[in-house]
Structure 1
Amino acid sequence: MEHYSQAAPISGSPAQAGGNTVPLIIVTILFFMWGLLTSLNDVLIPHLKAVYTLTYVQAMLVQFCFFGAYFIVSLPAGMLIKKIGYQKGAVAGLTIAAAGCALFYPAATTGYTLFLIAFFVLAGGITILQVAANPYVTVLGDAQTASSRLTLTQAFNSLGTTVAPALGGMLILSGVVLNASDLALLPAAEQAAYHAKEAASVQGPYLVLAFALVALAVLFAFARLPKIVDAEQPGGETAGWSAVLHHRHLVLGAIAIFLYVGGEVSIGSFLINFLGESHVAGLSPADAAPFVSYYWGGAMVGRFIGFAVMRKVSPGKALAFNSAAVIALVLLAIFGSGHLAMWAILAVGLFNSIMFPTIFSMALNKLGPLTGQGSGVLCMAIVGGALVPFAQGLLADTVSVQMSFLIPAACYTFILYFGLKYAGMYSEK
């Protein structure tokens, strides 16, 4: 998933020519890492659900804690970075994210609650990291090539979301997971041993990630990076908050971001369980995990297709077309079966590709000096990733996993409306 910083517009002196390569490589690795860490949740949710015999609503607490951190930590992150600077802020974000990964080690022997705390700490670190790291993409070189650098870093973010499910499937889901009825037949001591063994499968991978994040923090701390200075906003920071909400297209855009992130995250969270349904694909969690990479990989491919198409087609029309395609695919997944349902839901990723940046840019159109505050509103709307999966989990518990996909289908219906309503936005003078 793409993410945008909610930091205010910035100004800074580009680094000296020839000195940008190493810092840009480090920043690009950061984008890759938080993409990987985010989509690993799609592997951990069905794993923890099976290990702790959770309901779908209880399993969705993972996404609630993870994406809830965006809502809670975003504004404090902005204040922290304003005080200590962008480079130190990135180091702080990496360190906190590493601490979150390290917490997975004791969580494996403690229980589900500590796992949830670990997810929150990890996401809090990623939130700080994003607010701090994104601006560096714009100043590590000429201003005229900033867009191409952002495309590069976002492509590596997508690469992280693509490889994580397959990697997680091999490292975490390789064991045999017993269902609730088989587990109930075991003696209490064997049940406890089984829970400990399966929970411990996350210890090694997340400990490696913790060390990797610490190493990146050290690299970032000593890298020679340009100093970024926040630009002063006319009228001060608070002047725009009330005025920005008077822009209808921004408010509708925030709702669209809320529902898009919610729908995208919700589908990813249920994919392994959906592919495990006997009338869909009947795959084990380990066999289903690599297919989740097709979902996120489709978004990476679709981004490049969308880049070419939107040179000729208005963003609103492209958004409306992709939303309609997603609704059709999700309905095929709901009312179909076998390979038709399986590939329909995986193909959703391809059409998700352009949605976040397109909605984001349309919502900020013509905000002028209010752009910084508008960006903050949109970034806080990412909390949809915490709440929408809950709604789908409730429907999955009460009806079925397959019918629960009506929730994301309804989310994309609003995005279709938003795209159609502002289809001619950029043609207006």
Structure 2
Amino acid sequence: MLDAPAARADQIRDLQYWLTDYGFSEAWKTTRGAGVTVAVIDSGVNGSVVELNGVVTGGTDVSGLGSANGQTPVAGDDDDGEHGTLVGSLLAGRGTGDGTGLIGVAPEASILAVSVAFGSTRSAVSNDDQIAQGIRWAVDNGADVINMSLTRNTLYWPKSWDDAFLYAFENDVVVVAAAGNRGSGTTEVGAPATIPGVLAVGGVDRNKTASFDASSQGITIAVSAPSEKLVGVMPDSTYVQWDGTSAAAPIVSGLVALVRSAYPNLDAAGVINRVIATANANGQTVPSPIYGNGLIDAAAAVTRYVAPATGATPTELLTEWITLHRRAEIEVVPTEVPVAEAPAAAAEDPALPAQNVLTAWLPSQLTLTYISLPLAVLVGFGILVTLFGIGAVRYLKRIRRNPKDFAPS
């Protein structure tokens, strides 16, 4: 959500309250994100603006509407494609001079620009497939972190994302995703922020209170970060203030970059654990569906002692979810041909699988559905009718013997 244009370059630093309020200025005494690459899967990051000169080191377009380097803004049906550049500038902008212009929270990190077409009806590739392709490209091209300032506005995601996100996790990539905004119609956290293993980001206002319009709620939120009155750079080099977890997410992605730079031997699970373990509860009861585990603290995340992570890894979390929730979607497989009807050569031919004698007699999904269950219902109904008949006969005999026992009171 864009607000009025911000001030000139020489006044921008004064508007960047999150640099001090969330410990980034202090964290820079330890690291500024050097050596870490963050993929921004968004509408394209324009590396020609001054703050992003030299920041975008690679890119691609998966929408069919952008440029090969991912730096041309890809317009949606309702926007001009400025979103990705705003995100990139908050994450890794380098200013315009000494103390002027916008500086990102990880100003020495590099960006891979992966352009997608948000909600555009012009692309021949579905939005879901674009995301899956973008993740794989980012992993194959050296991303240490993937920022996803986007949402499907649903809790669930397509199967194609299962493999794509697992691919990222298996290659030790930290994926950060925005929770979504109530003001934009997302009342509860939507995918990809609902995917197990993803670092989901909620938003707070300038007073560190949960943002009503610029953040949704949900139990998958891991941490919260500022999501109101944030400054970003547009593709035409102008500045704007904007709200939303789309802006909070790159601040957390930048923090992840700082941690990965300060602790290069720490795996993705350890990095996520450090970000969560050093979050500030700020007087709230956490974890909660509003604040997650609390507000990020950049200085603590890169300096404080944190015990090693002991929980499940992102790969394990998503694998378990897939095992539990995708199993109901298994296709019905016809029963194998009974052994007696199979050609004799089948069991003797090494090119064919050996027939299991028990298989022909065990119930399959088809026999259970169309034969066994209806038959069981029919037999059960017959038993009930029989029992009812026996009871009726006994009842009539009893009346004949003792008619006073059944008279009106």
TM interval, shorter chain, is under 0.3
The TM-score with structure 1 as length reference comes to 0.24
* Structure with greater helix percent: 1
TM-score normalized by structure 2?
A: 0.24
- Find the structure with the greater CA-based Rg: 2
Higher relative contact order (CA 8 A, sep 6+): 1
Higher strand share: 2
